[in-house]
């Protein structure tokens, strides 16, 4: 999502926005889906869903909306809107219970905590939170309605660049005050745990990070917001989207990483793709396509 306050304003509309609004809610019930990966079992944890209108203001900036609609329909979507999920990833590894991103939070109708309960996990069980970046649909679940951390025992980890960016926005003051004592930063590419390594994925935000999970030769890359729509972001990776802070860098990174993933056949976790967000990237004409994987 776009940097605060723009994203916060948009997402805050979820509770009241009509179906025809620029951003609106989609029904989301608590759910979890595990995916075996070597000796590990990462679990997709549903938080929410939403839709952005195909009005030229969000996806395919500068592209005729009719052309954007054609791409959406060709990929099995609706011409008038782009539908996205909001999903977190849970990983039990090396004595840690790790959560990658935290969704929107209950104030924006997120159901992450209820979904975690389906996995037998309470907020107090989370030991570490890995943040891909500071947009509200990834950090909104860190703080509850009472202004206190939801995951009170967790260390909150992110790149130093991303933490600096979050602290630099005045609108984040309450978030920074709440989680600041729990934050530990790392350099891009750091090995965080045996089996989890940060991967710099440039262009979306100043310190945007993916996370590669590996076990017994099996790999899964959590791509954060490198790609938002499983249709547009893959079929037209060079189309600008409003959420990226550096369009040129984001577009180049998207093309490069998608090319690598299509060649390696590595598993992917994409938090905004249709739940549960597990799948692989394949080449399709001049772009790419999404092949979901559920087991």
Q: pLDDT digits over 116-147, tens only?
A: 999 999 999 999 999 999 999 999 999 999 99
Instruction: Let me know if residue 1 belongs to a domain.
Output: no
Query: Residue 18: pLDDT above 90?
Result: no
Helices (H) and strands (E) in the chain, counts: 8, 15
Question: Is residue 276 a part of any domain in this protein?
Answer: yes
- For the question of whether the overall pTM of this predicted structure is more than 0.85, the answer is yes
Task: State residue 177's pLDDT score.
Answer: 97
Span 156-170, average pLDDT:
97
Query: Average pLDDT of 14-33?
Result: 61
pLDDT tens-digit map of 72-108 = 999 999 999 999 999 999 999 999 999 999 999 987 8
pLDDT of the residue at 23:
57
Lowest mean pLDDT across 20-24, 137-141, 252-256, 266-270: 20-24
Q: 11: which residues sit within 8 A by CB, 6+ positions away? A: 1, 23, 50, 104, 108, 136, 137, 140
Say if 157 falls within a structural domain. yes
Number of domains present in the structure of the chain:
1
Question: The domain spanning residue 214 has which CATH number?
Answer: 3.60.15.10
pLDDT of residue 14: 34
Token couple for 160: 């130093």
**Parent domain of 193:** 6-292
Comparing CA positions, the residue from 86, 122, 98, 85 lying closest to residue 40 is 98
Give the model's confidence band at 24: pLDDT under 50 very low, under 70 low, under 90 confident, else very high.
low
Beta-strand relationship, 183-186 and 191-193: unpaired
Q: What is the mean pLDDT of residues 203-221?
A: 98
Taking phi first (over 0 means left), then psi (-120 to 50 degrees means alpha), and beta for anything else, what does residue 200 get? beta
- Under a CB-based contact definition with an 8 Å cutoff, are residues 20 and 53 in contact? yes
In a domain, 163, yes or no: yes
- Looking at residue 294, its pLDDT comes to 85
Q: Is the pLDDT of residue 17 over 70?
A: no
CB 22 within 8 A of CB 98: no
Chain-wide mean pLDDT for the chain? 92
Q: Is residue 80 part of a domain?
A: yes
Give me the pLDDT at residue 107, please. Answer: 77
How does DSSP classify residue 13? Answer: G
pLDDT at 266: 98
């Amino acid at each position: 999502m776009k940097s605060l306050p723009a994203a916060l304003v948009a997402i805050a509309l979820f509770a009241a926005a009509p179906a025809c609004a620029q951003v609106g809610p989609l029904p989301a019930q608590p759910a979890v889906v595990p995916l075996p990966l070597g000796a590990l079992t990462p679990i997709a944890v549903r938080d929410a869903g939403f839709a952005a209108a195909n009005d030229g203001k969000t996806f395919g900036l500068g592209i005729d909306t009719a052309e954007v609609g054609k791409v959406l329909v060709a990929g099995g979507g609706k011409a008038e809107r782009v539908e996205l999920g909001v999903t977190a990833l849970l990983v039990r590894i090396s004595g840690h219970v790790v959560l990658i991103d935290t969704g929107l939070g209950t104030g924006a109708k997120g159901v992450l905590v209820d979904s975690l309960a389906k996995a037998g996990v309470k907020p107090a069980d989370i030991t570490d939170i890995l943040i891909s970046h500071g947009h509200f649909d990834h950090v909104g679940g860190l703080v509850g309605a009472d202004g206190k951390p939801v995951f009170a025992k967790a260390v909150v980890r992110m790149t130093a660049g991303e933490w600096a960016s979050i602290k630099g926005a005045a609108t984040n003051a309450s978030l920074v005050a709440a989680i600041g004592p729990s934050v530990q930063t790392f350099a891009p590419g750091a090995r965080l745990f045996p089996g989890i390594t940060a991967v710099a994925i440039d262009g979306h935000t100043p310190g945007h990070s993916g996370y590669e999970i590996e076990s017994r030769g099996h790999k899964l890359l959590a791509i954060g917001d490198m790609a938002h729509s499983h249709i547009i972001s893959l079929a037209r990776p060079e189309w600008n989207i409003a959420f990226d802070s550096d369009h040129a860098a984001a577009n180049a990174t998207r093309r490069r990483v998608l090319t690598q993933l299509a060649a390696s056949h590595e598993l992917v976790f994409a938090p905004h793709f249709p739940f549960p967000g597990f799948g692989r990237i394949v080449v399709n004409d001049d772009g790419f396509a999404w092949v979901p994987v559920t087991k």
